[in-house]
Amino acid sequence: MTQEKQQGGRVLHVFNNIISQGTKDPDLPPEVPSRRWMYWQMTRAVAKKVVRAPFSLHTWAALRRQLLANILPDNLVYRYKAYQHGECNRCGLCCKIQFQCPFFVDEGPYNTRCSIYTTPHAPSACLKFPLDPMDLKLLQREIGNACTFYYEGAPQKLSILDFAKLYAQGVRQQLAKRKLKEAADSGD
């Protein structure tokens, strides 16, 4: 805690750990040499997926997951999460289906991790995996039944009107969150 004198003789207490000294990008893990390298690796991975798309059903599933995770609002993306059971057993097979992800770190059997998973740079498709039973089924087709996630039940089917209502509601919620974050970042 530091003290600073202001006009009028008042003492203002400033907590350095609460008030940031400016916006600083979060540090990258030691496995990631630089942001430039990280973005280059992401670009290469996407290019590999696009090139292999005509030949692989898994590539179409990965592109589907990426699009849905980035386009749909959270209230639609997470519709199936209440019915999802199991947890990641850290086998790493989903990160090595067609090629090994450049951010995959293998520390032994059933002890793998993603080097950027906890950073803001992690792909939303990876963070939100599995999106729905179809996503999981397409993965299980490639790796066998090694993944321990499974679904029991499903949400009710949505009509086009219900989908549009939920989409509009989700977009409004995300815009409200963004405004709150911008207000908090402005430093009031």
Please give the tally of structural domains in the chain. 2
108-147 pLDDT, tens digit each: 887 888 888 888 888 888 888 888 999 888 888 888 888 8
Identify whether residues 80 and 55 lie together within a single domain: yes
Identify whether residues 52 and 74 lie together within a single domain: yes
- Show the domain range for 108: 33-155
30-62 pLDDT, tens digit each: 777 888 888 898 899 888 888 887 887 878 888
Identify whether residues 124 and 183 lie together within a single domain: no
Question: The whole model's pTM is what?
Answer: 0.68
Question: What are the E-state strand segments in the chain?
Answer: 2-5, 11-14, 84-85, 104-106, 112-114, 150-151
Cβ pair 38, 28 in contact under 8 A: yes
Identify whether residues 54 and 83 lie together within a single domain: yes
Identify whether residues 102 and 187 lie together within a single domain: no
Residue 8 in any domain: the answer is no
Which pLDDT value is given to residue 152?
Answer: 93
Residue 1 in any domain: the answer is no
